[in-house]
């Protein structure tokens, strides 16, 4: 039985993660955390997801919650909150599943350093379908090479605060790597005005923020006379949450290190 703590538990994704844990017969929820001052602190976690009382209250201190013997913390919060949680988990030796996006390079380095002491699975997207999309994009880039223009289009709900999405950037990184390019040097974030003819060596990104879109991602490989589109559309956050719980189970048998969902699914080196 995997004993799990959820951070950011009162948010949209936090509540979905709670449901995913409660629906998994091999997982048990042992704690839930929210930021200090949140209006729901002290509430029974069952009320957050419309269930009967669970006997677990929403708390502000991750350190005190971890004293319940948690095996894994699942963290889909904000970069600053995630960094604080990493420090606490590293100190007590608790594994982490991290789905927070928008980490800076310096923040990413903190995560990498912590993985020397604890097992961490970090990914911009824990959906099984999205991770298969990453693998398909990798294979397509390898086969098509420089014969195509590559564009990545993503759409999310109006509340998402980072752009492009972490998943879109991951798709760009996979494609750039297969094409022998540095994404930071070849990326184009949107276009406006007289841009001139497109440079085939670039990888373009287009971002949409509207309504309640859960998450759509398309990688477009366009040549003269044909185009290939690899698309994933999410209709529920439960896809991400279920994948995160799957990663939590997988981490139990792993030594300290930094892993991603491709490791969890055994996709690295496949195809």
Relative orientation angle of helices 128-144 and 166-178, to the nearest 10 degrees: 30
Instruction: Look up residue 230 and give its DSSP letter.
Output: E
Tell me which residue of 35, 9, 36, 34 sits closest to 21, measured CA to CA.
Answer: 9
Residue position matching structure tokens 């449901």: 19
User: Could you say which of 91, 157, 159, 160 is catalytic?
Assistant: 160
Question: Distance between CA 76 and CA 125 in Å, rounded?
Answer: 10
171, 217 Cβ separation under 8 angstroms: yes
Residue 156 known to be catalytic: yes
Judge whether 60 and 35 are in contact, CB under 8 Å. Answer: yes
Q: Is 166 exposed, middle or buried (0-12, 13-18, 19+ CB in 10 A)?
A: middle
- DSSP class of residue 225 equals T
Residue of 85, 91, 156, 217 marked active site = 156
Give the active site residues.
156, 160
């Amino acid at each position: 039985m995997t004993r799990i703590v959820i951070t950011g538990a009162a948010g949209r994704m936090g509540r979905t993660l709670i449901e995913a844990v409660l629906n998994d017969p091999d997982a048990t929820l042992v704690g839930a955390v929210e930021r200090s001052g949140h209006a729901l602190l002290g509430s029974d976690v069952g009320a957050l997801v419309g269930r009967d009382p669970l006997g677990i209250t929403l708390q502000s201190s991750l350190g005190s919650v971890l004293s319940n013997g948690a095996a894994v913390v699942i963290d889909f919060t904000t970069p600053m909150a995630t960094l604080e949680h990493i420090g606490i988990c590293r100190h007590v030796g608790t594994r982490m599943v991290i789905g927070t996006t928008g980490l800076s390079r310096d923040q990413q380095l903190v995560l990498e350093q912590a993985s020397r002491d604890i097992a961490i699975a970090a990914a911009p997207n824990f959906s099984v379908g999205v991770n298969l999309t990453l693998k398909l994009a990798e294979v397509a880039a390898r086969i098509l090479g420089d014969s195509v223009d590559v564009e990545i289009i993503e759409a999310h709900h109006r509340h998402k605060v980072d752009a492009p999405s972490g998943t879109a950037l991951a798709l760009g990184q996979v494609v750039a790597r297969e094409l022998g390019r540095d994404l930071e040097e070849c990326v184009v974030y949107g276009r406006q005005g007289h841009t001139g003819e497109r440079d085939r060596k670039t990888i373009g990104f287009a971002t949409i923020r509207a309504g309640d879109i859960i998450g759509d991602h398309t990688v477009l490989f366009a040549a003269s006379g044909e185009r290939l589109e690899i698309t994933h559309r999410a209709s529920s956050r439960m896809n991400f949450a279920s994948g995160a719980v799957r990663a939590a189970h997988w981490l139990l048998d792993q030594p300290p290190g930094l892993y991603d969902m491709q490791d969890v699914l055994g996709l690295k080196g496949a195809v």
